[in-house]
Chain A
Amino acid sequence: MNIERRRVLKTLFLAGTALAAPQWVFGREYGRGQGVPWEPLTGDIPYHGTLEERFFTSQERETVAAVFAILIPSDEDGPGAAEAEAVTFIDRQLAGFYGAAQHWYMKGPFPKGAATQGYQSEHPPAQLYRLGLRELDLHCEREFGVPFRRLSEDDRHSVLEGLDNEEIEFTDLSAKTFFDLMLENVIEGFFSDPIYGGNRDLIGWRYVGFPGARYDYREFVNHNGARLDLPPVGLMGRPAWVRN
């Protein structure tokens, strides 16, 4: 989030006469017949990070890419996490407010919760990735003699199944929590708007047929079960709009 821009502006009321109470200023005031406020340069556009914002080391990035390629594979049916650059997406996310769990409640204590109580790790997402990736490699080195990224595709698959089914456990964090977060994130990276670095060239949307950030479907309401074939559009338009 653009914290500077969002900082609360304090307004000073310059009262001409002495009032019973001093006239400072409170949050921000609206109303008094002034109508709906309008100010220039206040549009709350998305903050989508920049290409330079990265969190992973190159080894971590390679491992996450390898995990993501098993979760959403590239195969004869179509592109996967690799073509969508889902790893770039999560790398940027982890470098920002999401990675730091800035908007999550992260006060302790952190006892192990019931399954119905949701995320209870003391680690924000970025730290969970850092520790989880280390433990993943430790596990693979113990079992296979090589880190995850050097495993065969079949072994990668079975290790991830082990995490998902809670057959593999880590020492310092919940392997299942780590797996669930990676699965959630790769889906985000495959399907979120391309401004965030994944879903490159709208590849995830084209694969499933999602038309994207269009805002007017009135002429299609009576589709009556027919195929529509609308090419997807992102918040920044789509590649076909640019002439080389």
Chain B
Amino acid sequence: MARQLPGKDVVIIGFGWTGAIMAEQLTDAGLEVLALERGPWRDTPTHFATTFAQDELRFYWRHGMFQEASHDTVTFRNNEEQMALPMRRWGSFLPGNGVGGAGVHWNGQTFRFLPSDFVARSHNEERYGRLPEEMTVQDYGVTYDELEPHFDHFEKICGISGQAGNVNGERVEGGNPFEGMRSEHYPNPPMQMTFSQDRFMASARQLGLDPFPGPSANMSRAYTNPLGMQLAPCTYCGFCEKYGCGNYSKASPQTTIIPALMRRENFVLRTHSEVIAIEKSADGSRATGVRYVDSQGDEYVQPAEIVILAAYPLQNTRLLLLSGIGEPYDPQDGTGVVGKNYCYQVMSSVNVFYDDHYTNEFVGAGALGAVVDNYNGDNFDHSGLGFIGGGYIACWTTNTRPIESHPVPDGVPGWGSEWKQAVRENFLKTTAVGLHGASMAHRSNYLDLDPVYTDRWGRPLLRMTYDFTLNDRLLTAHITPFVEEIARGMGGREVKVNRRRGSYDSKPYQTTHNTGGTIMGESPSDSVTNRYCQSWDLPNLFITGAGLFPQNAGYNPTGTVGALAYWSANAIINTYLARPGPLVQS
């Protein structure tokens, strides 16, 4: 029997980046806010202090801070012919768990999508003609210009270190010449580059490209953000992605928002509280709150005037499906919206091996890198290429954590003396140049509920049906040779090209950029939320996160995720509160 709790103005499901952003904004507007997080409390000195944060086995290989697969995972298949089987342990992506969510263990590569990325269908169709039937690419419904102030604010909250390329229409030397117009410079200068970036930039310039320093949530200097949170200079320790920063040098909910929020009387956080459904009114016209269980399995109903769905994208889709909100997507006839347009990221890379130079990539940071955007989005002419979108090419120096990263040249076996010696010879003398490619929506890639496997409470797991598409294959086949060309110009002994081959494989880690499933858009017939991230079905339900992306751009998602959360919070505070109801008439 569920216990009925006293109501709140706002209940937030999930307390990662967007949960923290929403809580900060809505408490600032005077609302009583409750956040429910299914994992534990986490803070810097207690959970990832510098004295024990650099533990590769514990945090990556034993999944110290990720969602516990034994509680809840995803089933996966490449196509509908296969039976989806559970990801019994994480591989390709690593959903977070606990306070701060995946914002604790991200790298900090913090881009803005291009203006054309937000209007991917209309822009590309205008320039190249109709897209193929099976490409379910859509416009976001919100434009870059509308999001610009919110990108700017998120960058200031995070203290992004970077080099602007376009400030109020003025081209700035050394920045990204393709970026959308920004109202202000980054709050901090770029990080210091190392040998590998110097070589990458020189090679790229030689080829007539426009390299720039990667926008980084690792601090290039001490910084105080608009909430008064103080961050420390990054020490280049090489433990960002998959690890918490013990040094207060990486922007995370913990370092940029939560301490300020915890001082507010009108904010409460409950941990170990897993929402199992969003509750609806009898007539189905609004959300009345949420139902959740604590770690003892006791069930509670928490009423609220506004519900914010701010869990990880895969979980957001699953909660809508489990709660019977919105029509589930049907890949046969393309109707329905929940679970539609699941997208990911399409990568390839080239390793460079040196003889006489040490890359020393243990001197690294999650977002220490140099980037070229000439082959991203629609920054180049796609006429006759048969695909849309692109990706950035970058040389990041994130780590040399030895269990994870010990690349060897082509032709070396996978174990034994020859392998061991090749690992030693190349360990300190290698770097990589990667393509971080867009993932365009396709009719046959989607999320729904699994018919067989259940979580620890007996509820269906989410099922993922996903494979790389023709667009993905053409995109990487076209751009990878440019990656190789830059890599060859970096003066190494040899290179090794890691092409995008075969089906999507759920085993090796690729990236935690799972997008779509709760997409935003212009009409209830093709999206889950309107342009303000407000549910078309229940006007007091707002959704955050990369699940909103109708398709994924050739960038890391967090910058755009942050901007969308501030955009949505702004709409709630300035429009919705005065007149609760749909912000867009359908």
Mark A residues whose CB is within 8 Å of B: 6, 8, 19-22, 24, 26-37, 42-46, 70-73, 75, 77-78, 80, 97-98, 101-107, 109, 111, 113-120, 157, 160, 164, 183, 187-188, 191-193, 196, 204-205, 207-218, 220-228, 235
* Residues of A contacting B478 in the complex (Cβ-Cβ under 8 angstroms): none
Which of A26, A71, A103, A205 gathers most chain B CB within 10 Å? A26
* Residues of B contacting A114 in the complex (Cβ-Cβ under 8 angstroms): 77-78, 82
Interface 9-mer from B38-46, B512-520, B565-573 = B38-46
* Residues of A contacting B235 in the complex (Cβ-Cβ under 8 angstroms): 215-218
Which of B55, B271, B359 gathers most chain A CB within 10 Å? B55
Interface size class of B (residues with CB under 8 A): 35 or more
CB-based contact A116/B505 at 8 Å: yes
**A87 to B400 Cα, complex, angstroms:** 24
Q: Is the CB of B268 closer than 8 A to any CB of chain A?
A: yes
* Residues of B contacting A113 in the complex (Cβ-Cβ under 8 angstroms): 85
CB-based contact B414/A116 at 8 Å: no
Q: What are 16 contact pairs spanning A and B, CB under 8 A?
A: A8-B295, A24-B3, A31-B269, A44-B46, A75-B417, A75-B420, A77-B420, A77-B424, A101-B88, A114-B78, A116-B506, A117-B77, A188-B61, A192-B403, A208-B424, A223-B363
* Residues of B contacting A192 in the complex (Cβ-Cβ under 8 angstroms): 56-57, 61, 403
Q: CB < 8 Å: which of A20, A188, A196 contacts B6?
A: A20
* Residues of A contacting B239 in the complex (Cβ-Cβ under 8 angstroms): 215
* Residues of B contacting A157 in the complex (Cβ-Cβ under 8 angstroms): 416
* Residues of A contacting B247 in the complex (Cβ-Cβ under 8 angstroms): 215
**A5 to B259 Cα, complex, angstroms:** 24
CB-based contact B40/A208 at 8 Å: no
Secondary structure dominating the interface of A:
loop
**A218 to B454 Cα, complex, angstroms:** 48
Closest 6 pairs between A and B when the two form their complex, measured CB to CB: A225-B357, A27-B272, A192-B57, A213-B54, A216-B235, A208-B427
Known contacts: A183-B414, A192-B56, A217-B363. The answer to whether A33 contacts B264 by CB under 8 A is yes
CB-based contact B41/A37 at 8 Å: yes
**A77 to B415 Cα, complex, angstroms:** 14
**A193 to B47 Cα, complex, angstroms:** 18
CB-based contact A105/B505 at 8 Å: no
* Residues of A contacting B300 in the complex (Cβ-Cβ under 8 angstroms): 26
**A123 to B262 Cα, complex, angstroms:** 44
**A80 to B238 Cα, complex, angstroms:** 25
CB-based contact B192/A222 at 8 Å: yes
CB-based contact A208/B428 at 8 Å: yes
Which of B57, B198, B416 gathers most chain A CB within 10 Å? B57
For window 516-531 of chain B, which residues contact chain A by CB distance below 8 Å?
Answer: none
* Residues of A contacting B78 in the complex (Cβ-Cβ under 8 angstroms): 114, 116
Question: A126 → chain B, closest Cβ, in Å?
Answer: 14
CB-based contact A119/B88 at 8 Å: yes
CB-based contact B424/A8 at 8 Å: no
Question: B5 → chain A, closest Cβ, in Å?
Answer: 5
**A50 to B246 Cα, complex, angstroms:** 26
CB-based contact A223/B195 at 8 Å: yes
Contact with A along B63-87 (1 / 0, CB 8 A): 1000011100100111000110111
Contact with A along B46-64 (1 / 0, CB 8 A): 1111111111111001110
CB-based contact A221/B363 at 8 Å: yes
Known contacts: A113-B85, A192-B403. The answer to whether A27 contacts B270 by CB under 8 A is yes
**A217 to B458 Cα, complex, angstroms:** 48
Known contacts: A215-B247, A235-B51. The answer to whether A27 contacts B295 by CB under 8 A is yes
Question: B8 → chain A, closest Cβ, in Å?
Answer: 12
Contact with A along B266-306 (1 / 0, CB 8 A): 01111111000000000000000000001110101000000
Closest to B40 in A: A6
For window 80-130 of chain B, which residues contact chain A by CB distance below 8 Å?
Answer: 82-83, 85-89, 91
* Residues of B contacting A222 in the complex (Cβ-Cβ under 8 angstroms): 192, 194
Question: B28 → chain A, closest Cβ, in Å?
Answer: 14
CB-based contact A72/B40 at 8 Å: no
For window 352-369 of chain B, which residues contact chain A by CB distance below 8 Å?
Answer: 354, 356-360, 362-363
Taking A27-B270, A33-B264, A107-B454 as known contacts, 15 extra A-B pairs with beta carbons closer than 8 A to each other, sorted by chain A number, are A6-B40, A8-B40, A21-B3, A26-B273, A29-B268, A29-B269, A34-B262, A44-B46, A73-B416, A77-B424, A113-B85, A191-B403, A217-B362, A222-B192, A226-B358
Q: Is the CB of B335 closer than 8 A to any CB of chain A?
A: no
Question: A101 → chain B, closest Cβ, in Å?
Answer: 8
CB-based contact A223/B360 at 8 Å: yes
Closest to B270 in A: A27
**A73 to B192 Cα, complex, angstroms:** 39
CB-based contact B270/A193 at 8 Å: no
* Residues of B contacting A106 in the complex (Cβ-Cβ under 8 angstroms): 70, 88
**A211 to B58 Cα, complex, angstroms:** 18
Q: CB < 8 Å: which of A19, A73, A105 contacts B417?
A: A73
Question: B505 → chain A, closest Cβ, in Å?
Answer: 4
CB-based contact B402/A210 at 8 Å: yes
**A235 to B54 Cα, complex, angstroms:** 8
* Residues of A contacting B360 in the complex (Cβ-Cβ under 8 angstroms): 220, 223, 227-228
Q: Is the CB of B507 closer than 8 A to any CB of chain A?
A: yes
Known contacts: A32-B267, A210-B402, A215-B54. The answer to whether A118 contacts B507 by CB under 8 A is yes
**A19 to B5 Cα, complex, angstroms:** 10
CB-based contact B271/A77 at 8 Å: no
CB-based contact A193/B85 at 8 Å: no
Q: CB < 8 Å: which of A37, A43, A115, A116 contacts B49?
A: A43
For window 1-25 of chain B, which residues contact chain A by CB distance below 8 Å?
Answer: 3-6
* Residues of A contacting B217 in the complex (Cβ-Cβ under 8 angstroms): none
CB-based contact A214/B421 at 8 Å: no
* Residues of A contacting B268 in the complex (Cβ-Cβ under 8 angstroms): 29-32
Question: A65 → chain B, closest Cβ, in Å?
Answer: 15
**A34 to B262 Cα, complex, angstroms:** 6
Which of B76, B89, B454 gathers most chain A CB within 10 Å? B89
